[in-house]
Chain A
Amino acid sequence: MKFRRTTAAAAAVLALSATATACGGGGDDDKIKIGIKFDQPGLGLKTPDGKFTGFDVDVAKYVAKELGYDEKDIKFVQAPSAERENLISRGDVKFVAATYSINDDRKKKVSFAGPYFLAHQDLLVRKDDNSIKDAKDLNSKKLCSVTGSTSAQNVHDDFAPKADLQEFGGYSECLTGLENEAVDALTTDDSILAGYASQDEHKGKFKLTGLKLSDENYGIGIKKGDTELQGKINKALEKMVKDGSWDKAVKANFGPANYKYEPAPKITEKS
């Protein structure tokens, strides 16, 4: 008897939570949900007081405004790298602007608008370290990146197969090692590195090598085949570059790291 009562209670709780989530999901058509990173300084960062800053955020806000949404109607959703395709294809977000490099594998599941930014894989080293001048120099170095990231793959497969690559759960762990001289360089997209290097607690300790190891075209991920939305976003991005907001956003977010960014890329994702 007691057992049956617990089961009934459990079922009730389940049913309740199911309805609760259903409520949260529907009924806000006038709002727009956008996927961004919450943990990437300079690109998409949720600050302790609940605000969002970064270049991706600025782009997302601009595009949303051009699509006809007020800033207060934007709801930012966390889009970790592995989740981005699912967020889009399930329709949980309208679009994703989260350091999302356009590539063919990803285009199997989603479509892109843009690109709106051209980044390169690069290395972050200690300010006084001038020993890395070429990708080949990495073969004798200790390198750090994030477990499973594209940048780590590139090092393995292309630039420096013999490099001693440490893969941690996040970039912050790498920065500790870099500061303590346990690793010699941290690798990922230069935009992300610039964001970390210009954080207050790291200012003046590190520098970018500017090696341009790869081309990463950041696009805005949208539902596969939604050409109407793609056209609208592309138009918004073009306008953003033309009216100078793009330059302003780049300067505001990457400025302190002395990061030599590329000019705005040409829109390639048309249908």
Chain B
Amino acid sequence: MFDFLEGYDLLAAFWTTVQLALYSAIGSLIWGTILAAMRVSPVPVMRVFGTAYVNLMRNTPLTIVLLFTSLGLNQTLEVDLFGGESDAVNFQLAVLGLTAYTATFVCESLRAGINTVPVGQAEAARALGLSFTQVLFLVVLPQAFRAVIAPLANVLIALTKNTTVAAAISVAEAAALMKEMIEMESHAIFLVFAVFAFGFVALTLPTGLLLGWVAKRAAVKR
């Protein structure tokens, strides 16, 4: 029944999906934290930049963001990032686009987390003579992160599924292989769908369960 899978490297395709999700997750966690810090900072220019970036980026369709990295940055402006074969460049462009987009959601989750930390804590830290950065990174953010693990898990799951858009700029991940198999093995189209749907469930369900468990353990009891 599953003989149509022969000759296709399903694992390699899903491995690319996992790598895309992993690199973009790390990237967007870092960039998202910086954005969140900007949005709560006392410097007006940073607040304006953070707000403008988040609102612009999260309201732009991801397909357009990724196509821009490829058609705009790479093909027109000839930006090669870390270089390499065009497969590698496309992968890097996809990570860049996914990071730029997902960071906005990480930022907004974090900002919600910051709001769960009682104002008294920041005031007490200020009274001790800590600077804004020290207050943020030593007192507020550690508690904020623990409050938003579950929402961040949602962002990560959404990111995993969003990696399928990278097929549009020639990254050989799961969705690209699915398109290939639908074209070549059209007699088994529903089985092809089922296989890929199962693949994504296998990636996202454990993520949700694991991070849900972590969220319960790490939450600050108030």
Instruction: Decide if B189 touches A86 in the complex (CB within 8 Å).
Output: yes
Which residues of B in the span 73-113 have a Cβ within 8 Å of any Cβ on A? 74-76, 78, 85-86, 90
Contact B187 A85, beta carbon cutoff 8 Å: yes
User: Which residue of A86, A105, A149, A169 is within 8 Å of B168 (Cβ)?
Assistant: A169
In A80-118, the 8 Å CB interface with B consists of 81-82, 84-86, 105-106, 108-109
* Docked CA distance A106–B78 (Å): 41
* Chain B residue at smallest Cβ distance from A156: B180
Q: Are B180 and A153 in contact (CB under 8 A)?
A: yes
The reply to whether B180 and A109 contact each other, CB–CB distance below 8 Å, is no
Return A99 CB to nearest CB of chain B, in Å. Answer: 12
- Name the CB-closest residue of A to B71: A176
The interface bits of chain A over 148-176 (1 if a CB of B lies within 8 angstroms of the residue's CB, else 0) are 11101100000000001111110001001
A150 lies within 8 A of B183 (CB): yes
A81 partner, pick from B71, B76, B183, beta carbons under 8 A: B183
Interface size on A, residues (CB 8 A): 27
B170 and A166: CB pair below 8 A?
yes
Q: CA A85 – CA B179 in complex, angstroms?
A: 15
Query: Bound state CA distance, A81 and B70, in angstroms?
Result: 25
**Closest A residue, CB atoms, query B76:** A180
Q: In the complex, are the beta carbons of A148 and B180 less than 8 A apart?
A: yes
Q: Is A147 on the interface with B (CB-CB < 8 A)?
A: yes
- Closest CB of chain A to B169's CB: distance in Å? 7
Q: B170 is contacted by which of A86, A109, A153, A168 (Cβ under 8 Å)? A: A168
- The distance in angstroms between the C-alpha atoms of A188 and B166, with both chains bound, is 21
**Residue from the list B71, B75, B85 in contact with A164, Cβ < 8 A:** B85
Contact of A109 among B169, B178, B187 (CB under 8 A): B187
Measured CA separation A153–B185 after assembly (Å)? 12
Q: Which of A86, A105, A182 contacts B184 (CB 8 A)?
A: A105
Give the chain A neighbours of B86 by CB distance below 8 A: 142, 164, 166
Q: Are B179 and A82 in contact (CB under 8 A)?
A: yes
Q: Which residues of B contact A109 (CB under 8 A)?
A: 186-187
Across-interface contacts of B139 in A (CB, < 8 A):
none
Task: Tell me, yes or no, whether B176 is within 8 Å of chain A by CB.
Answer: yes
Question: By CB atoms of chain A within 10 A, which of B63, B85, B169 has the most?
Answer: B169
* Given contact pairs A81-B183, A105-B184, A164-B86, A148 touches B189 in the complex (Cβ within 8 A): no
A 172-197 to B, binary, CB cutoff 8 A, 1 in contact else 0? 01001100101000000000000000
Contacts A164-B86, A177-B75, A180-B75; is A147 near B180 (CB within 8 Å)? Answer: yes
List the A side residues contacting B70 at CB < 8 Å.
168, 173
Chain B residues with Cβ under 8 A from A173's Cβ?
67, 70-71, 168
Q: How far is the CB of B12 from chain A (nearest CB, A)?
A: 14
Most buried by A among B67, B71, B90, B185: B71
Contact present for A82 and B176 (CB under 8 Å): no
B76 engages A169 (CB within 8 Å)? no
Count chain B CB atoms within 10 A of each CB in A169, A173, A182 and give the residue with the most.
A169
Closest A residue by C-beta to B74: A182
Using CB atoms, name the residue of chain A closest to B85: A164
Cα–Cα, bound, A105→B70 (Å): 34
Q: How far is the CB of B201 from chain A (nearest CB, A)?
A: 21
In contact, A106 and B85 (Cβ under 8 angstroms): no
- A82 and B170 in contact (CB under 8 A), knowing A164-B85, A176-B71, A182-B75? no
A148, A165, A173: residue with the most chain B Cβ atoms closer than 10 Å: A148
Q: Is B75 a contact partner of A105 (Cβ separation < 8 A)? A: no
Q: Is the CB of A148 within 8 A of B185?
A: no
Chain A: minimal CB distance from B92 (Å): 14
Contacts from A to B (Cβ < 8 Å): 81-82, 84-86, 105-106, 108-109, 142, 147-150, 152-153, 164-169, 173, 176-177, 180, 182
Q: Which residues of B contact A (CB under 8 A)?
A: 63, 67, 70-71, 74-76, 78, 85-86, 90, 167-170, 172, 176, 178-187, 189
18 A–B contact pairs at CB < 8 A? A106-B186, A106-B187, A147-B176, A148-B183, A150-B183, A150-B184, A152-B180, A153-B183, A153-B184, A164-B85, A166-B90, A167-B170, A168-B168, A169-B63, A173-B71, A173-B168, A176-B71, A182-B78
